Structure formats: structure tokens, C-alpha cells
Amino acid sequence: MIPAAPPESLPSLRVWQRKAMVSYHRGQSRDFLAVATPGAGKTTFALRIAYDLLADGTVDTVTVVCPTEHLKVQWSGAAARFGIQLDPAFRNSDVHSATDYHGVVLTYAQIGADPAVHRRRTLARRTLVILDEIHHAGDARSWGDGVKTAFEEAERRLALTGTPFRSDDNPIPFVGYEEYDDGAKRSRADSLYGYRDALADGVVRPVMFMAYSGQAKWRTSAGDELAVRLGEPLTKDLTSQAWRTALDPEGEWISQVIRAADRRLSSLRAAGIPDAGGLIIASDQNSARAYAGILKRVTGKSATIVLSDDAGSSEKIAKFAVSDQEWLVAVRMVSEGVDIPRLAVGVYATNAHTPLYFAQAIGRFVRSRRPGETASVFLPSVVPLLSLAENLEQDRDHVIKPKSEDQDPELLLEQAQRVLNEGTELGGQRETLESSAELDQVIFDGGSFGLPVQSGSHEEQEYLGLPGLLTPEQIHLLLQKRQREQMSKQGGGARTEVAERQTAEPPMTNAQRRLKLRKQLNALVGARSFATNEPHGKIHATLRSKCGGPPSAQATIEQLEERIAEIRSW
């Protein structure tokens, strides 16, 4: 059955989509992997390929496989614009779909539940299989094996992903891997369009990360009281517990960050993006409900709450996408694939920190509609998230590391016990005593801007009130200007009272000293960037290559002092 839409009515393609389409038709290969950053238009590209293959008789039917039930409806609606009718309500028990459909949309869970049904459908007709977010096929053995069983005889397979990497070594079905000298295997894309390229083309929005530190105090299950500063060098266990304390609805940290995010959203809506929306990503359903309550309490605004992957939630998301409502609170359902282009402000209120999950979550905010739109994501100032934010523009592949046959059994036991102990301790056996937030830094284009300021202060508002319609170059200039103004105020005579108070304070702790050095280093990097037009991230990378050591958020006092001396010598 030929698609109903005439060729001249099809959506226009972006440059990367046209290049990928030419590459696809030129190669005529059975398998093709297209990697494109979230918001770049993978769905449009795939449906154009489906249109061409149906029109020229290469295939008779199309099967789309995606991660969630909501995305099935989204794919069906997008396909209709190409004159391709896909059944989003197909169930395994149906065996066959109606004859006036060009194909079906399924989930990976459906395939894993009964791959034989879909194998028979694939064998019955020449089939194009579109595997959306293909990395999900490695989520469970049944899913990966099911996908291979169901579609190994397909006429064509088109794999799509915005994040072609996983946090494990499970191979992704129908993806080609190249083996390197060290024995590792790396996924190979047939078409690659990364975030940096999309940003340069104006296809996606630039993202500013508002990183909030602050104090966290809690009581352990043993009755001990611990107090730390979020974002300071801590053990993995302490970092996790401080992070959880900050996200606890019982503390003030999350309330202050939600209030700040709402101010940022109001600023965007008042200055060029009148329908801008915000999304709070929670770790679990109880937290999601509590965050919605906090939003109502501190701003007076109600939020749409999406808690589970069911038909009712799909309707809520669809309604929010076309409404003018300001806030959405969700757990995982909106973390990947869901298309709500007006989302411009996010609160990353979850302790998930795999590169895969982080990239998927940030992908919800980068979809560009018009030149100059920016996105702002608020997150805890902890090393795992800061590193991910600084490396947002880095293209990644899925790497399968070679297995060692002589791993130390004692080391394996230690790792297993550490994971178990952390899971037990973080599973709720602790009590939040208090928490507070302050804006620690703004991360943009791999660089860090600004000096720590208290939540609710005038200095914080200077960053929250940045205009919403800016080019990346203008964002750089404004962030540099804000940083210079902060440095000038802190060094001027107006700070006499603060200076006198500081002289009466006891000697600095290592944590305080390290924070002061990091501020100093960031200021020097900012000045260097302003003088040379080099990105902050590039200057930090040069310092690390010359002096060694990890990113500045993880660096020791000695390493920070060495980098300060190095940059002063330039």
C-alpha cells in the first residue's frame, strides 16, 4: 500500500537529514544506524526513509519499535503526516492488524513478551523495522534476544538513537562494532549528527546548567549526625547521602531550588518565550507528589503530575504539550523521546547519574523552535552531575570492554559489598535534619561561570534573569560580564564589613580553602577566555593536560594551586 501523502506535501528535511538519506539510499544496506542528538529530527528522517521504501516497493509494511506506550501514539501521529498509517494499539494477541494500516508501532517490552508473533509478521511481508532508541534492546536479555528473533529476517532495519551508549556491556542488536587494539569494541554509526553540530546549525538550544550547592545535615540509622557541604570533596557514600538529603522534600534545599527555577521560567516567559514550560524530574512517585506540593506552596502554581506509563499519563503529557501551563512533574516517563518543544527549564531532582539517563533527560529541553531560545537546567552541585554537564557536547559510542579472565576475586567481593551497603544505607534509613541551597556556579559550553551566591539574593537573580532569547556567543558574554561584576564587588570597598568579619573568623578548613581556590581558578579562566575568546572548557582542559589531575570539581588543593600558578604564567 502506497503512502497517501504526495511527495510535495512531505515535511522539509534539514541538511543532516538529507545527507543521511542520500547515504542510506546509496548504500542499500540491510542495517543502518543513525545517531542524532535529541531534538535533531530522527523521527522525521526515519519516516522519510519509510515513505521512500513503501513508495518504490522495496518493503510492504513498516514496524516501529519504541521504548514506551506514549511514544507509540507519538510515532503514529508523526507517520500520518507522511500519509503512513501505523496502528499504535496493536497487541500481541491480535496477530494481524487491519488491512488499511501500513504497519504497527510496538514497544520493546511487547517484542520481548512474544517475539514469535512478530517474527511471523515479519516473515509474512517484506518489512522495514525502525528501532527507535535502539540501545533499549540491551536493557534485558529477553528484549535483546526478542528483537533479534523477531527481526533477523526483516528486509530492512533502521536503528535510531540519540545516546548510542549504555552503562553496561550488553551488545545492541543489529548495531555494527569495530574492534580496537586494546580488545574493546566500539559501536559504529552510519550517520552521526552530534549536539555540537546541531548547536552550530541552530537545530537545538544551548543549555545553561545552574548548579546549586549548600549545606546538608542528616541523622544515620546508627543515630550519628552528619553535616557536609554539597559539592565538596567527599567519599562516594557521603556524596550520595548529602545528595539525597538535598533532594528530600523535608529539607529547604529543594524548595529553594524549585523557587529559583520558577523565577527563571517566569523570566523566560516575560522576555520572548511566552509559552515556556518547566519540568521537574523526580526519583520516585512519592517525591514527585511532594515536589508538586512544594511548587504550589512556594509559587502558588499547580503542576501536572505524570507518575506512570499508562494511557492516562499519555493524555496528560499530550495535553500539557499544547497547553500554556507552566509546570510538569514526572518520574521517568518524560525522560526520553517525549516531544514537548516548549520545555525550557528543568529541575534535575533525581539521583540517577548514568551518562545515558542524563543525556536522555537533558534531551527534553534542547528542542529548538526558533533562533535564540535557550534552556536552563537546575541540578545539585555534585561531581557526577557536574562532569556530565561539562561534557554535554561530547559524542559517545557504545564501548564493550574486553573481559579479564584473571580478575581479583577479593576486589570483586569488595565492589559487591560496597554496592550492597550503599543501596541499604540510601534506601531510606536516614533522617534529614536540615538543608539549604546556594547557586554554586553556572556551567555553559563546558566552562564554569560565577561565584557562589545565596539563594534568594540579588546576585542570584542576576543569573536567573538572563534574557531568554540569546545566541551562544551572547550567553558567553553575559556570563562573563556577570562574573566580572561579582569579582569587582567582592574586591571593592563595599565589602569592608565582610572583610572585617572574615578577619575575625578562625583559619579556613581544607574545604573552605579548596572552595576559595576553585573560585580563584574559575575567575582566572574567565579572564583568559574573555581575552582570547577560547571556551572555558578548552582552557580547563589545557590546564589539566599540563598539570594533570581530574576536573576542578574533583581536584586537590595542590592541583588547584598548580593550575592557578600555570595560568598566571601565560
Strand partners, 187: 177
User: Residue 544: what pLDDT?
Assistant: 87
- Is residue 404 a part of any domain in this protein? no
Name the pLDDT band for 500 (thresholds 50, 70, 90).
very low
What does the pLDDT look like over 236-268, one tens digit per residue?
A: 888 889 999 999 999 999 999 999 999 999 999
| 211 in the same domain as 128 | no
* Per-residue confidence (pLDDT) for residue 490, from 0 to 100: 63
Query: CB within 8 A of 395, min separation 6: which ones?
Result: 192, 194, 195, 196
| Whether residue 141 sits in one domain with residue 84 | yes
Which amino acid, residue 145? Answer: D
Q: Give residue 371's pLDDT.
A: 82
Residues 130 and 262 in one domain: no
- Name the more confident of 415 and 350: 350
For residue 55, give Cα distances in angstroms to 4, 76, 123, 130.
Answer: 10, 18, 20, 16
> In degrees, to the nearest 5, what angle opens at C-alpha 252 toward C-alphas 422 and 458?
125
Q: CA torsion 75→125→147→78, rounded to 10°?
A: -10
> Do 50 and 115 reside in the same domain of the chain?
yes
Q: Cell numbers for 164, please give them.
A: 548510542
Residue 251 domain flag: yes
Q: Hey, which of 75-89, 164-178, 464-478 has the most confident mean pLDDT?
A: 75-89
505 lies in some domain: no
Percent of the chain with pLDDT over 90: 39
User: Does residue 566 carry a pLDDT above 90?
Assistant: no
What span, in angstroms and rounded, lies between the C-alpha atoms of 138 and 116?
19
What phi and psi, each to the nearest 5 degrees, are found at residue 31? -115, 140
Q: Tell me the pTM.
A: 0.70
**Structural domain of 540:** 510-569
For residue 550, name the pLDDT band (cuts at 50, 70, 90). confident
Residues 295 and 185 in one domain: no
The mean pLDDT value of the chain amounts to: 82
Strand partners, 367: 204
Task: Note the pLDDT of residue 169.
Answer: 63
Which range is most confident: 36-50, 472-486, 495-509? 36-50
**C-beta neighbour count of 310 within 10 angstroms:** 13
For the segment 417-439, what is each residue's pLDDT rounded down to a tens digit? 333 333 333 345 779 999 999 99
Question: How far apart are the C-alpha atoms of 308 and 277, rounded to whole Å?
Answer: 20
> How does residue 499 score in pLDDT terms, banded at 50, 70 and 90?
very low
3-state secondary structure of 564: helix
Regarding beta strands 207-220 and 191-193, do their DSSP bridges make them parallel or antiparallel, or are they unpaired? unpaired
Query: Quick check: is 137 in a domain?
Result: yes
**Among 193, 219, 238, which residue terminates a domain?**
193
Q: Give the residue-averaged pLDDT of 209-216.
A: 93
Q: 307 with 441, same domain?
A: yes
Lowest average pLDDT, out of 27-36, 481-490, 521-530, 550-559, goes to 521-530
SS3 279: strand
Q: Chain centroid to CA 349: how far?
A: 12
How far apart, in whole angstroms, are the C-alpha atoms of residue 84 and residue 51?
A: 7
Q: Check: CB of residue 170 under 8 Å from CB of residue 67.
A: no
pLDDT of residue 367: 84
Q: Which of 139, 160, 193 is the last residue of a domain?
A: 193
Cβ 568 vs Cβ 524: under 8 Å? yes
What's phi and psi for 456, nearest 5 deg? 90, -5
Residues 37 and 133 placed together within one structural domain of the fold: yes
| In a shared domain, residues 469 and 323 | yes
Q: What is the 3-state secondary structure (H, E, C) of 34-93?
A: EEECCCCCHHHHHHHHHHHHHHCCCCCEEEEEECCHHHHHHHHHHHHCCCCCEECCCCHH
Which pLDDT does position 466 carry in this prediction? Answer: 84
pLDDT digits (tens, 9 = 90+) for 21-41: 999 999 889 999 999 988 889
Q: How confident is the model at residue 335 (pLDDT cuts 50, 70, 90)?
A: low
pLDDT in tens, 59-70: 999 999 998 888
- Look at residue 408 and tell me if it is in a domain: no
What is the distance between the terminal CA atoms of the chain, rounded to a whole angstrom? 67
CATH number of the domain at 250, please. Answer: 3.40.50.300
> Domain for residue 426, yes or no?
no
More confident residue, 34 or 462: 34
Q: Which long-range contacts (CB under 8 A, 24 or more apart) does 2-8 make?
A: 2/54, 2/55, 3/51, 3/54, 3/55, 3/82, 3/83, 3/84, 3/102, 4/83, 4/85, 5/51, 5/81, 5/82, 5/83, 5/84, 6/83
- 382 and 530 together in one domain: no
Q: Is residue 496 part of a domain?
A: no
Q: How confident is the model at residue 309 (pLDDT cuts 50, 70, 90)?
A: low
Task: Give the span between the Cα atoms of 332 and 287, in whole angstroms.
Answer: 12
135 and 251: one domain?
no
What lies within 8 Å, CB to CB, of 331 at 6+ separation is 281, 282, 283, 284, 285, 288, 306, 307, 308
Residue 189 and residue 221 share a domain: no
User: Are 180 and 219 in a shared domain?
Assistant: no
**The C-alpha cell that represents 178 in the structure block:** 569495530
**Domain contains 495:** no
For the chain, how many structural domains are there in total? 3
- Percentage with pLDDT > 70 across the chain: 84
Q: Look at residue 457 and give its three-state secondary structure.
A: coil
| 531 compared with 497, residue with greater pLDDT | 531
Can you tell me the distance from the alpha carbon of 485 to that of 483, in angstroms, rounded to the nearest whole number? 5
Burial of 38 from C-beta contacts in 10 A (0-12 / 13-18 / 19+): buried
How far is Cα 410 from Cα 407, in angstroms, rounded to an integer? 9
